[in-house]
Amino acid sequence: MSPVVTVLLLVAGFSEAAGRLLPLVARLSGASRTRVVGMMVAGAVVDGAVFALWPLSAWTLAELVLVTSPSDEAALVWTADLAVPLLLAAVLAFPLLGPFLHLVLMVGVGAGLATALATVAGVGWWGAAGCVAAAGVGLGVAVEGVRRLVVRLSTGRMPEPLT
């Protein structure tokens, strides 16, 4: 992966993390800047890693499901052409700017990945689109599960009132 693509994925991850964290931080009173910045950086790394894993997961799924014999070609990877729409989709992840538009752009990014996967793997576009969608949903569900677990573990129990 080129340095330009790595930076694009990290910026997309940062934007995605900001879209998830800023509404939460706005509701918290007294959140320290250090903690907010730490959460933003951690979220950017996690979301950037999930974005980076999306084509690899789709490629692996395509090899398991669609391709009868594993190919010797390199796996599907992000290119700058594929990552730029992802960056735009992450910028639009802010809840006030439109979750529906964010979903439409993510579908567009997935369609671009499906086209690249169909070309590289030598499979039909619809099969490649299914693999990209399954990989994206699987990664999204896994990350959301980890987020919920972290929130559950990081929030302390409220003490019961003394009666």
Please report whether residue 163 resides in a domain: no
Distance CA 19, CA 44 (A): 11
Please state the domain count of the chain: 1
Query: Could you list the pLDDT tens digit for every one of the 163 residues in the chain?
Result: 778 888 878 887 787 777 777 777 777 767 677 877 888 888 888 888 888 888 888 888 888 887 655 555 666 777 777 777 766 666 655 555 556 766 777 788 888 888 888 888 888 889 889 999 999 899 888 888 887 887 777 766 656 666 6
The answer to whether residue 160 sits within a structural domain is no
Q: Which structure tokens are listed for 161?
A: 């009132």
Rounded to two decimals, what is the model's pTM?
Answer: 0.76
Where do we find the tokens 């929130």? 151
Q: Which domain holds residue 105?
A: 3-154
Residue 10 corresponds to which tokens in the numbers above? 């990290």
Tell me, yes or no, whether 88 lies in a domain.
yes
Its sign, for the CA torsion 76, 60, 123, 110, is negative
Residue 82 near residue 113, CB atoms below 8 Å: yes
The DSSP secondary-structure symbol of 95 reads G
Quick check: is 12 in a domain?
yes
